[in-house]
Structure 1
Amino acid sequence: MIKWGLSSGTPADSYYEVRSDCTDGVPKSKFKIKAGKTLSARKWQAAFSPDGCLDIASVLSRIQRGGVHPTVRGEVWEFLLGCFDPRSTFDEREEIRQIRRIQYARWKEDCRQMDSHVGSGKVITAPLITEDGRPIKDPLVLLEATSDTNTSGDAPTTSINGNEVDESAERITDKQIIEWKLTLHQIGLDVLRTDRTMVFYENKENLSKLWDILAVYAWIDKDVGYCQGMSDLCSPMIVLLNDEADAFWCFEKLMRRLRGNFRCTDQSVGVANQLQHLASIIQVLDPKLHDHLETLGGGDYLFAFRMFMVLFRREVSFGDSLYLWEV
């Protein structure tokens, strides 16, 4: 059972500032940084040998007692998520980091070649393409004034479902590219709804980073692509790591553990097994509660669907959700 730190200390959410117009209704953090328990920057640095090997056992023990101090969270999470082997040296990690940054840049460039909005600082919020591969003329684009878009009307257009199709543009026939481009505006709509109470996302560059990472991931993981909820899982990586490529790789490592949650078929949803496990646990630990839920028609535990899908990101404050993930 998690015991929230209520002793004197700095609330974790003070590091993740909420907009002044959004303070009402936003969950307050219950987790406080606890001296002697929370993994501090000093203790984190002391856990490395001279060549860079990490004493992961001592680090994990402290994290389980008091979480990670926000000032070193990004560095620590790269190890917790499996980006780096604790036995690696400083030089080995730097080499791996540079290789990964180059790989991400290549994937991002591949995506930019397929759609110029990737890496442009823009966030797509309207469809770019029809389901049969015809490009839509002048889609709505966030972060760019519509007057900047060429709307001279020189190219012939056809209206489909209220969208103008550019007849002069070459029709796309690659099904994988069509499927990917069809997800881009949905990513944009979700990005606009993700952690928007935070001052951090008043910076449009941070919004575009989130959109770019999700767009690239949707292309490289074609089996899963993009599903609603992934933006909630990716957002902490953008907040904690300054470099976009480093944030991408943390998200990619997290998705290796969670991608099964987003694989849905006509017969089942990705978190179905977890819901069944929860039902079995509650039935043993608190049979009265289980019976009560059964009486209310909640015995399938679908009320916990979102909790499992995005790891409580929407149930508790931003800082508390990060603490929950850590412990």
Structure 2
Amino acid sequence: MLRRHKGRESASSSDSTFYQLRPDCAHNVPDTKFKIKIGKTLSVRKWHAAFTHHGSLHIASVLNRIQSGGVHPAIRGEVWEFLLGCFDPDSTFDDRDHIRQARRIQYARWKEQCKHMDPHVGSGKIITAPIITEDGVPIKDPLVLLEAATPDQQASLISTKNGDEADHRLTDKQTIEWKLTLHQIGLDVLRTDRSMVFYEKKENLSKLWDILAVYAWIDKEVGYCQGMSDLCSPMIVLLNDEADAFWCFERLMRRLRGNFRCTQQSVGVENQLQHLASIIQVLDPKLHDHLETLGGGDYLFAFRMFMVLFRRELSFGDSLYLWGDDVGSRI
């Protein structure tokens, strides 16, 4: 799980060493400002030293380091499991092993349920076209079927006509709503962090798609909304195990799912936008008045910033630095 950085930690190191960018996309990505600072950043050595013999974590010293200099990229995955509440700082090594195993089993069960409803889940591929109509009729688009088929299955699918099998109309509304989101998840996954070398591997894209598909099923009240892929992507990058990444994302969504609840009367982040307006009005009244004059007094221009926690305004590493400082301050 721990991705160790080969070489000595240096003050000049930056996240670009760990989160490599595609050469053709580097000019489109904001420069990373975060730098590893010796004596301030939570290092690998300081992180390991913060655990007792039995495995409990001295969280206070860890938080002080995080707030003064961020987290070394080599241990971000492990640290985030504690910051997001996946593990109690007072838990032991054995406690966490049992919890991790139980969660992996639970995730596997949910994923199997989703796979039973739609074989695209866990196939190693993703879909980007609708597979069902709003009234529950399967869409047997050959291109969609070929997306998730194995090479052996593709040959038989090509020779199979759409009318060879009777359509089975679904009647369960929750299943229909879930299936209606799958292609949208696929479209968003293909647009998420495409500048990173990490996502040149199809297995990483499919892992992101699977996690979002499973989450959309278990959180039926919120389901899937655009922006969630931006929040889930860092978990895939930081944690090798898919189930571990899922649970970190699930914990993050416990804090943020209210942002994705929208009605005809309000949007999920409306309260945060109102707070921002109040703060700017006090700290910089001239700026607030100027925004009012331009018609931006509702601060909707900051909508995306709050929805995905500055993932698209900052570089990958800088956004995680901001997240760590914010989440750490709430523990």
TM-score, structure 2 as length reference: 0.91
Q: CA contact under 8 A between 2:114 and 2:121: conserved in structure 1?
A: yes
Q: CA deviation at 1:9?
A: 1.3
1:117 counterpart residue number:
120
Q: CA deviation at 1:69?
A: 0.3
1:316 counterpart residue number:
314
Q: CA deviation at 1:142?
A: 4.9
Q: CA deviation at 1:28?
A: 1.1
Q: CA contact under 8 A between 1:19 and 1:197: conserved in structure 2?
A: yes
1:306 counterpart residue number:
304
**Which one is further off, 260-269 or 10-19?**
10-19
Q: CA contact under 8 A between 2:50 and 2:58: conserved in structure 1?
A: yes
Q: CA contact under 8 A between 1:217 and 1:225: conserved in structure 2?
A: yes
Q: What SS does the aligned partner of 1:37 have?
A: coil
The one-letter amino acid paired with 1:181 is K
2:39 counterpart of 1:33: no
Partner Cα distance (1:84, 1:187) in 2: 29
Partner Cα distance (1:234, 1:264) in 2: 20
Q: CA contact under 8 A between 2:123 and 2:148: conserved in structure 1?
A: no
Partner Cα distance (1:97, 1:104) in 2: 10
2:222 counterpart residue number:
224
Q: What SS does the aligned partner of 2:208 have?
A: helix
Partner Cα distance (1:26, 1:273) in 2: 30
Question: Residues 253-292 of structure 1, C-alpha deviation per residue, up to 9 Å, x if partnerless?
Answer: 0000000000000000000000000000111111111111
Map 1:76-225 to 2 at 5 A. Answer: 76-137=79-140, 138-140=142-144, 142=147, 148=154, 150-156=157-163, 168-225=166-223
Q: CA deviation at 1:139?
A: 4.7
Q: 1:64 aligns with which of 48, 64, 67?
A: 67
1:54 counterpart residue number:
57
| Distance change in 2, residues 1:188/1:63 (3 Å) | same
**Which one is further off, 68-77 or 22-31?**
22-31
Partner Cα distance (2:283, 2:273) in 1: 15
Q: CA contact under 8 A between 2:120 and 2:148: conserved in structure 1?
A: no
Partner Cα distance (2:233, 2:223) in 1: 17
Q: What SS does the aligned partner of 1:127 have?
A: coil
Q: CA contact under 8 A between 2:22 and 2:195: conserved in structure 1?
A: yes
Q: What SS does the aligned partner of 1:130 have?
A: coil
Q: What SS does the aligned partner of 1:21 have?
A: coil
Map 1:219-298 to 2 at 5 A. Answer: 219-298=217-296
Q: CA contact under 8 A between 1:127 and 1:139: conserved in structure 2?
A: no
Q: CA deviation at 1:168?
A: 1.2
Partner Cα distance (2:175, 2:130) in 1: 14
The unaligned stretches of length 5 or more in structure 2 are 1-9, 326-331
Q: CA deviation at 1:24?
A: 1.5
Q: CA contact under 8 A between 2:25 and 2:195: conserved in structure 1?
A: yes
TM-score, structure 1 as length reference: 0.92
Question: Residues 224-267 of structure 1, C-alpha deviation per residue, up to 9 Å, x if partnerless?
Answer: 00000000000000000000000000000000000000000000
Q: CA contact under 8 A between 2:11 and 2:38: conserved in structure 1?
A: no
Q: CA contact under 8 A between 2:77 and 2:238: conserved in structure 1?
A: yes
Q: What SS does the aligned partner of 2:114 have?
A: helix
Question: Residues 288-317 of structure 1, C-alpha deviation per residue, up to 9 Å, x if partnerless?
Answer: 111111111110000000000000000010
Q: CA deviation at 1:144?
A: 6.2
Q: CA contact under 8 A between 1:143 and 1:204: conserved in structure 2?
A: no
| Number of residue-to-residue matches in the alignment | 312
The unaligned stretches of length 5 or more in structure 1 are 1-6, 157-165
Partner Cα distance (2:223, 2:305) in 1: 21
Q: What SS does the aligned partner of 1:124 have?
A: coil
The one-letter amino acid paired with 2:307 is M
Q: CA contact under 8 A between 2:125 and 2:147: conserved in structure 1?
A: yes
Q: CA deviation at 1:148?
A: 2.2
Partner Cα distance (1:176, 1:223) in 2: 10
| Distance change in 2, residues 1:143/1:33 (3 Å) | farther
Question: Residues 125-167 of structure 1, C-alpha deviation per residue, up to 9 Å, x if partnerless?
Answer: 00010111111113536576899260324342xxxxxxxxx86
Question: Residues 187-210 of structure 1, C-alpha deviation per residue, up to 9 Å, x if partnerless?
Answer: 000000000110000010000000
Partner Cα distance (1:282, 1:266) in 2: 27
| Distance change in 2, residues 1:314/1:169 (3 Å) | same
| Distance change in 2, residues 1:301/1:92 (3 Å) | same
The one-letter amino acid paired with 1:148 is Q
Q: What SS does the aligned partner of 1:237 have?
A: helix
Q: What SS does the aligned partner of 1:121 have?
A: coil
Q: CA contact under 8 A between 1:13 and 1:28: conserved in structure 2?
A: no
